Each structure stands twice: as C-alpha cells, then as structure tokens.
Amino acid sequence: MTSLLEARQYVKQFYMKYETIITYVWKFFLALICLGLINSELGYHSTLNNVLILLMASLLCTILPTNFTVFMSTLFILGHLYKLSIESAAAAFIVFILMYLLYFRFTPKDTLAVLLTPVLFAFHIPYLMPVALGLFSTPLSIVSMTCGIVVYYMLTYISGNATSFGGSDIQESAGQFQAIISDTIGNKQMLAMIVAFAITLAIVYFIRRASIDHSWEIAIIAGCLIEILCILVGELVFESQISFVGVIFGTLISGIILKAIQFFAFNLDYTRTENVQFEDDEYYYYVKAVPKVTVSTPERRVKKINRSQATKSQSTTRSTSSDRTMRDLDN
C-alpha cells in the first residue's frame, strides 16, 4: 500500500510538472485512436485510410481544442459514409446536425462524452462510461452519452449492412434511408443500453454527491452493480441479445479502471498548477501557484525511516511510529 501511495505521489508530481506536454500527448492519442477506429470500422474512403492523412489530422487535433477532434471525427465518418452511399451519409448527417444544433450549443464541453462512448464500445468496455460520467460530470451528460450510444449503433448497423447500400434511383435510396433510421431507432439492444446507462449515471452521481464517507468508492461499486442489474432487466424486457458474460467482465474491468483513475486522479481535476503573469507599478510578477497537495511529499519520506526504525526496535517505538504511519496513510 505504501509503495502505491508513493507511486501516486510520483504520478501526481509528474503530471503537475509536465501538464502541458501530457495534455498534448493525450490529445494526439485520443485523436489517433478515434480516427483510426473510424478508419478500421468504416474505411470505405481510400484517401482517408491513408496513414499520412490520419497522422496529419491527429496532429491538427493535438494543437486545436478538443472539440475539433469531435469535428474531425464527424468529417471522417461522413466522408467514409458518403463513399459508401449517399443515403447512409444523409442519415448520419441528420443525426449529427440535430445533435449540434439542439444540444451541443449549450454544453460544448460535453462533446468529449459523445466521442468517447463509441470508442469504449469498440473496446468492449462501454460500461465504464456511465460510472465515469456520474463521477466526473453531471446528470446532464446523459444526453451526450445517449447521443454517443446512438451514433455507435447507427454506425455498427451501417457497416454491418454495407453491401445492401448503393441504390440507383431515388425511391430505392429513400427505402434504404428508411431502413437505417427505423432499424437504428428500433434496435432493442440500443434501447436497453440507453436506459441502463442513464439510470446508472444518475445513481452514481447522487451517491457521489451524498455527504457520506467513501462516497466515491461506494458510487463506483454501486454503479457497477446497478449497471449489471439494469442490463439484465433490459435483456429480459427487450430480449436484446446482450452477451451477459461480456457485460459482467466488462463491468468488472471498468470498475477496476475507475478505481485506478480515482486513486491516481482524484485531486488532479481540482488542483492544477497556475502559471500567471501580471505587473504593478514596481514589479513584473511571474507567479507559479502550486496547490498544496505536493507539500506532503517530504512528510512521506520521513515515514519510510519510521517504518525501518519500527522493525529494528520493535517493542519501544512500535506504537508511536505505526500511529504516525497510519496518519500518513490517511493523508
């Protein structure tokens, strides 16, 4: 446990020191993974499949705001679908434009949830999403998450029925458009997922906000259990053919990942180092304001010596040093 805490401290310090670079790296890989997934799942447009274009687009996403990654992903999806058939591109375009026009005008920051949900679906751990959003966001994110789920199922449907697209006359196209919309909306597995995820997110949020000890841990565990339960009920109600072993394993893995995130990143969101510049009549100030969490590191180093002392002179100093260790661990 002690070495884990030290590891956390190390990670924290590392993050605070190289925050800018880490942000760029994480944005680059996020874009690369998203666009690469789109290419591997859809991949109808040979130009977009080009590795150089993929890298260039990812690099562009790295230097521009995160929302540009969402925009770029949308462009890639539409490009691929347009190559496949105009009606599938039209269906996707309508879904995207309605999302942007009606919802993301209000919460531009939430677009990341839309992007990450299909990505996690592709990695078979979408169960991570509702619990994570419940922990780090608000119940409003249900809408973004639902959008992400709809996008994923629509794209899966299109890529699964790719051969049936590409009609010549307008009536055939209209029929295909109708099939895409009605099969996506009527997808019972999707409905079950949306309902289960929405319930999970809301419950996790309320437990996390409750003023009880260990609310985060309780929220994660309860969230995972509720999620499994909801999907099971959804499976019974909608007969949605969800692999139940997959759900349990996926949720377990999600829970472990979340616990790791919580352990390492608990403070990172709230306390970040501020680099500010200002001046008054006499001075220029270049201030680096470091949050106080880091100050506790030297104390932790002392704790190591205490432990070795405790093992050497067992009877005399044991109680005091172990008390101190416990206190340090609590900190």
Binding site for other proteins (CB under 8 A): 90, 94, 97-98, 101-102, 105-106, 170-171, 174-175, 177-178, 181-182, 274, 276-278, 280, 283, 285, 287, 289
**CB of residue 178 vs other proteins: minimum separation in angstroms?**
5
- Shortest distance (Å) from residue 278 CB to other proteins: 5
**Whole-number Å distance between alpha carbons of 256 and 133:** 15
Least distance in angstroms from the C-beta of 119 to other proteins: 26
d(CA 299, CA 82): 60
At its nearest, how many Å lie between other proteins and the CB of residue 284?
Answer: 12
Nearer to other proteins, 150 or 224 (CB): 150
Q: Which of 67, 101, 94 is nearest to 78 (CA)?
A: 94
Residues linked to residue 287 through DSSP beta bridges, in sequence order: 276
Please give the angle made by the CA atoms of 44, 48 and 51, to the nearest 5 degrees. Answer: 120
Residue type, 48: L
Q: How far apart are CA 4 and CA 179, in angstroms?
A: 53
Contact 34, 115 (CB under 8 A): yes
Q: Are 218 and 207 in contact (CB under 8 A)?
A: yes
Considering the complex, state which of residue 51 and residue 276 has its C-beta at the smaller distance from other proteins: 276
Mark out the alpha helices in 137-214 (DSSP H runs): 141-160, 170-185, 188-209
The C-alpha torsion from 110 through 111 and 116 to 118, rounded to 10°, is 120
Residue 90 or residue 131: which is nearer to other proteins going by CB? Answer: 90
Our CB check for other proteins shows the closer of 43 and 167 to be 167
Asked if 180 and 87 touch (Cβ cutoff 8 Å), the reply is yes
Q: How far is the CB of 260 from other proteins (least distance, A)?
A: 28
Q: Taking a C-beta distance cutoff of 8 angstroms, is the pair 77, 116 a contact? A: no
Q: Smallest distance, Å, CB 255 to other proteins?
A: 33
- Distance of closest approach, residue 139 Cβ to other proteins, in angstroms: 15
Among residues 181 and 232, whose Cβ is nearest to other proteins? 181
Give whichever of 165 and 177 is closer to other proteins, judged by the CB atom. 177
Cα separation values, 236 from 68, 232, 233, Å: 40, 6, 5
Closer residue to other proteins, CB minimum distance, 157 or 197: 157
Are the CB atoms for 197 and 118 separated by under 8 Å?
A: no
Smallest gap from residue 27 Cβ to other proteins (A): 19
User: Measured from the CB atom, is 21 or 170 closer to other proteins?
Assistant: 170
- The SS3 of residue 289 is strand
